[in-house]
Structure 1
Amino acid sequence: MADFLDGIVMAEQRFHGEGYQEGLAEGSHSGMAEGRMCGAFHGARIGSEIGCYLGFALTWHCLLQKCTDEKNSKKIKALDSLIGMIQKFPYEDPTYDKLQEDLERIRGKFKQVCSMLNIQSGFRIGTERSSLAF
C-alpha cells in the first residue's frame, strides 16, 4: 500500500518536472525566434539610417568638390570624417559592444555637417510625407 501511495506522490513530481522541461524548451525556442525577428528589424532600421547618412555625405562631397574656397574645405573635411566613420562602422559584427556609442557619434557628426551646410537635420521617414527621420 505504501508503494502505491509513493507512486502517486512521485507521479505528481515527475509530471511537474516534465512539464517544466517542456515549457522551458518551448519558451527558449519562442524566445530565439522572437529575438531574431527583433534583431532583424532593428538591424534594418540602423542600416537604413546609416545608408541615408552615407548617401547624403557622398552627394554633398561631390557637390562641394567643384568649389575650392576655405569654407568648402572645412565642409569637405567634415564630410570626409563622416564618410570615414560610416565606412568603419562594424556592419558584420552583431556582438560589437560599442555599436550604440559609434552610432551616436555618427549621428552627432551628421548633425554637425548639416549645421555647417545650413540644412535641417530633422528628417522624417513616414507614409504621410516623403521625408526621412532618425
Structure 2
Amino acid sequence: MAGSQDMFDAIVMADERFHGEGFQEGYVEGSRLGVTEGRQHGTLHGAKIGSEIGCYQGFAFAWKYLLHSCTTEKDSKKMKVLEALIGMIEKFPYDDPTYDRLHEDLDRIRGKFKQLCSLLNVQPDFKIRAEGSGLSF
C-alpha cells in the first residue's frame, strides 16, 4: 500500500512540479531576452539623443563662427545664448545612462536651442530618419 501511495503522490504532485519547472525555465528565458531587448532599446534611444545633441552642437558651432566678428548689442545677446547652449551641451552626461536628470537637461537644451533659433530668425526642422538625422532650414 505504501508503494501505491507514493505513486499516487507522484501523479498528484506532477502538475505542481511541472508548473514550477516551467515557471523557472520561462523566468530564465524571459530574463535573458529582457536583457537583450533592453540593450537594443537603450542603444537605439541613446543614438537618437546623441544625434539630436550632435546636431545642436554643430548648429551652435557654425553660428558661433558666423557671429564671432559681430559686435552689435543684438549680436551680443545672440552670443550669450549661443555660449549658454554650448556650455549646456558640454556639460551633458553622455556616458552616464543612470543620470537621473537626463531628460530634464535634454529639455533645457531643446529650450535654449529654440530660444537661439528665435533670436537668429531661423526655422529648423530636426528629423530622425532611418538613413540619418539632421537639421534642415
TM-score normalised by L of structure 2: 0.90
Structure number with the bigger relative contact order (C-alpha 8 A, sep ≥ 6) is 2
Q: Deviations over 1:86-106 (max 9, x none)?
A: 000000100111111100000
Q: Which residues in structure 2 correspond to 1:1-134 (within 5 Å)? A: 1-126=4-129, 132=135
- The structure-2 alpha-carbon separation of the partners of 1:40 and 1:125, relative to structure 1 and needing over 3 Å to count, comes to closer
TM-score, scaled relative to structure 1: 0.92
Spell out, residue by residue over 1:46-72, the C-alpha distance to the aligned partner (whole angstroms, 9 max, x if none): 000000000000110111011111111
Name structure 2 gaps, 5 residues minimum. none
The total of aligned residue pairs comes to: 132
Deviation at 1:42, TM superposition (A): 0.3
Cα shift at 1:7: 1.0
Larger radius of gyration: 2
Higher share of residues assigned strand: 2
User: What letter is aligned with 1:104?
Assistant: D
* RMSD between aligned residues: 1.8
1:31-57 per-position Cα deviation (integer Å, ceiling 9, x unaligned):
110010000000000000000000000
Equivalent AA in structure 1 for residue 45 of structure 2: H
Structure 1 unmatched runs, 5+: none
